[in-house]
Amino acid sequence: MATQVGSKSICGCLTLLQAWIYEYFPLFRPSQILQAPDAPRASSWVCHRFAGGDDARQRLVRYRQMLDEMSGEDVSWTPYGRDAGTELLRSLYTGVIRFADVAEGYDPARCRRQFGYRQTIPRTMMVPKDVYRPASYSTYIVFWEGSMDQLWGNLPSHFLHIAIDSDLCEYPSEADEDYMDWYRTRSHPRIINPDSGGVSLQRPVLVDEVSYVIIVQFLMYC
What pLDDT, in 10s, does the model give residues 154-177? 666 666 766 555 688 888 899 998
Per-residue pLDDT tens over the stretch 92-131: 888 887 777 677 788 888 989 988 889 999 888 877 778 7
Q: How far is residue 68's CA from residue 49's CA, in Å, rounded to a whole number? A: 24
Burial 173-206 (b: 16+ CB within 10 A, else e): ebbeeebeeeeeeeeeeeeeeeeeeeeeeeeeee
Identify the CA nearest to 168 among candidates 90, 60, 86.
86
46 forms beta bridges with: 31
For 167, phi and psi rounded to 5 degrees? Answer: -95, -5
3-state secondary structure of 32: strand
Per-residue pLDDT tens over the stretch 36-75: 888 888 888 887 776 666 677 888 888 889 999 998 889 9
The 8-class DSSP code of residue 61 comes to H
Question: Which band of pLDDT confidence, cut at 50, 70 and 90, is reported for residue 88?
Answer: confident
CA atoms within 13 A on the CB side of 190: 9
Report how far apart the first and last C-alpha atoms of the chain are (Å, whole number).
Answer: 46
Residue 205 has pLDDT above 80, yes or no: no
Question: Which band of pLDDT confidence, cut at 50, 70 and 90, is reported for residue 208?
Answer: very low
Identify the CA nearest to 75 among candidates 84, 64, 66, 85.
66
User: Could you tell me the CA-to-CA distances from 116 to 82, 85, 144, 173 in Å, in that order?
Assistant: 5, 8, 30, 9
pTM attached to this predicted model = 0.68
Number of Cβ within 10 Å of residue 32's Cβ equals: 12
Per-residue pLDDT tens over the stretch 1-45: 555 666 667 777 788 888 999 999 999 988 888 888 888 888 888
User: Could you tell me the CA-to-CA distances from 151 to 102, 144, 186 in Å, in that order?
Assistant: 15, 11, 28
Number of Cβ within 10 Å of residue 147's Cβ equals: 9
